[in-house]
A and B are shown apart, each in its own frame.
Chain A
Amino acid sequence: MCASHKSHKGRWIALAALGIVLAALLFPMIDGLSATGFLGDKTYLVVLQDNSEIRGTGGLISVVGVLTIHNGHIAQVHYYYSHTSKELQTFVPLDGPESFMTFFNVDSARLFDSNNQYDFASFAPKMQSDWHNTTGQQVDGVIGLDFTAAQAILNITGPITASGDVITSRNVFHRLEYYSATNKGDRMADVLSSLTYSAFTLVADASVPQKLALYNTLRTLANEKHFFIYPEVGPLLQNADGQNQSRAPNADFISVVETNLGNGKSDFGIGRAIDYSVQLQPDGSAVSNLTLTYTNGDWWSSDLFAEAVVPHGATLLAMYNSTDQLIGPQVTYNENFTVFSSRFILQPYSTTRITYLYTLPDRVYENGIGSHYDLNVIKQGGIDRYTLNASVQLPAGAELIHAENVGSNLVFTDDAHVSVVYR
């Protein structure tokens, strides 16, 4: 091949590479412009979840807003309070999860109380459709945020004034808790409305570093499941939420999904730990010992319902608990997972432990390096942090090559991945 042909080929390759880079930059930008109403108005449901009263998707739904965005600015916003809005008081059918519906023998709930799914990604499309069925209003997406998100956004925007009160990142959590507990929906809506305007003003008028700080905060909140956007906006703001993670084949997983059954705003006074000890068998199966530990630092008792979602095929061998105030376990199955559910009371200033002993088929896979065991611990939306104590016992005679996140007292604010390679 002559030099000129080589040069032409090089140019075409360079041009193609440039095209790929530009496309990679432009697609998210178009996605972002579309989401912010530059390519036609966009209307979103904004769902404020009270994560001190935990629910499957992140917290009790306190306020729902309908927000219309035009060219990156708020065109209209209206908030509905859960306990007074006839729209949110409407009963809607539940579509699962089976573990919840069977345990409580329910098949419907009021719209504001229908977020019993295991994650926001499962809840959002149903909320979108239920809202449409209830109000006749079509929305383009659902944005979820909890009190932790409100706190973090106020860190960036600075204090706001709502209903005559100064609301800061230091007091917003308790103010919202109080408004939620005492049915002061108008004040809660005022806070959320002021916060929405303040955040949009920041996006429009702030300096580049402030904008970046807000973007970084939203990304962190999304990763830690305090802020959700459905459908997701390009690769820039994606929620983990257990939906988009690449999984190792046959990876083991634990997803603990809790529901506070109405004993107040207790969940930030409760310490949570997951102790997981797995014994790998020579045939690739496993014997698992999962202990959920709850330490109640509050001065009142708490009533919790906990669903431990584990891989399909798990067989419960035994259950132990340190409290006699427990109902369960209930075991439910489907083609994707097995769920062990229990309801129990956490006494003030005390610790409660629940242990599930179960077997799992086919948890180890082979590749050229050796045998692999992977565990994904999926954090529930709204939960602040948890401690993971993970131990992996290899089959007799096996030699450890690599271990990641195996050990005690590992504190996570997002999902955790445990990995072990051996031969």
Chain B
Amino acid sequence: MNRKQLVVVVIVILLIAVGLAASMGTFLATTPTKEATYTAPASAVRAPLGTTATSDTIALRLNGVSDASNRATRDTWVKFNNDSANITYRMSLTPPSGERYLIANVTVKNVKSTAVHFSDTAFAVLTANNTAYYSNYAVCNQNCSRALENRTLSAGFTSDLYVLFAVPTGTTADKVVYTASNPPIVMSAV
């Protein structure tokens, strides 16, 4: 191989290396967050906003979804969190850059005559394309917070919950789903 050929080979190798590095850099810089998805089964109970849907053990009504920066929502959240039997955890309502906090106001009722399992962690906000944002934390009044803590609703239990979801900035809730009942409950948020 003469010097001219060597120079050409070196240049080609360098170009390939630069191209690979650039495309890898672009890939790494744009690696998207792996979000969860949820597709409700055909058997899911569905309810429009503000109406009650009943499943095997519980009935749920979505009263609305608002941003945590909403003054009234924030004040209620703070009151519930302060009233909570478990005041050892206060949750900051300042979202990190790139995210917003949505708070769903849900009324929950035990429809059985015995205690039933219930977990606020089974709530998720769904977007129109079924991206699921599972709940971060939930608060409710003093009587209810112990039930949340124990994940058990006593017979006759009914209360409002505030359930918080972290979603990317610009995301709006299409539905709120409760995945732990049989069948799941899908409530329209709009």
* Residues of A that sit less than 8 Å from B by CB: 52, 154-159, 164-171, 173-175, 177-178, 181-182, 209, 212-213, 216, 264-266, 268-269, 297-300, 384
Contacts and interface: CB of A to CB of B under 8 A. Distances in A.
Contacts of B149: 182
A168 B89 contact: no
The dominant DSSP class at the B interface is mixed
A266 B34 contact: no
Nearest to A178: B89
Contact of A182 (B89, B122, B134, B166): B89
Contacts of A159: 34-36, 134
A171 B91 contact: no
Interface string B163-178: 0111100000000000
Interface in B111-141: 119, 121-122, 124, 132-137
Contacts of A171: 133-136, 165-166
A174 B134 contact: no
Interface string B128-161: 0000111111000000000001000000000000
Nearest to B125: A170
B94 interface: yes
B92 interface: yes
B28 A213 contact: yes
Given A165-B121, A182-B86, A213-B28, A170 B92 contact: no
Contact of B90 (A265, A297, A384): A265
Given A165-B119, A175-B136, A216-B28, A155 B33 contact: yes
Given A174-B137, A216-B28, A268-B96, A169 B89 contact: no
Interface string B91-111: 111101001000000000000
B166 A177 contact: no
B24 interface: yes
B70 interface: no
B31 A213 contact: yes
B88 interface: yes
B33 A169 contact: yes
Interface residues on B, range: 35 or more
B78 interface: yes
Nearest to A209: B27
17 contacts: A155-B33, A158-B36, A165-B134, A170-B134, A170-B136, A170-B165, A171-B165, A173-B136, A174-B136, A175-B121, A175-B136, A265-B90, A265-B91, A265-B92, A268-B96, A298-B93, A299-B74
A268 B134 contact: no
A4 B24 CA distance: 43
B137 A157 contact: no
Given A159-B34, A299-B78, A268 B89 contact: no
Nearest to B180: A164
Given A264-B89, A265-B90, A299-B90, A168 B96 contact: no
Given A171-B166, A209-B27, A269 B92 contact: yes
A157 B92 CA distance: 26
A205 B122 CA distance: 29
B23 to A, nearest CB: 10
Contacts of B122: 165
Nearest to B28: A216
Contacts of B93: 269, 298-299
A300 B90 contact: yes
A166 B133 CA distance: 10
A180 to B, nearest CB: 8
Contact of A168 (B31, B91, B119, B134): B134
A168 B133 contact: yes
B134 A157 contact: no
B34 A155 contact: yes
Contact of B36 (A52, A168, A174, A268): A168
A62 B91 CA distance: 17
A3 to B, nearest CB: 15
Given A157-B34, A169-B34, 16 more contacts: A52-B92, A156-B31, A159-B36, A167-B134, A169-B33, A170-B33, A170-B136, A174-B137, A175-B137, A177-B89, A182-B86, A212-B24, A265-B92, A266-B92, A298-B94, A299-B78
A168 B35 contact: yes
Contacts of B27: 209, 212-213
A148 to B, nearest CB: 9
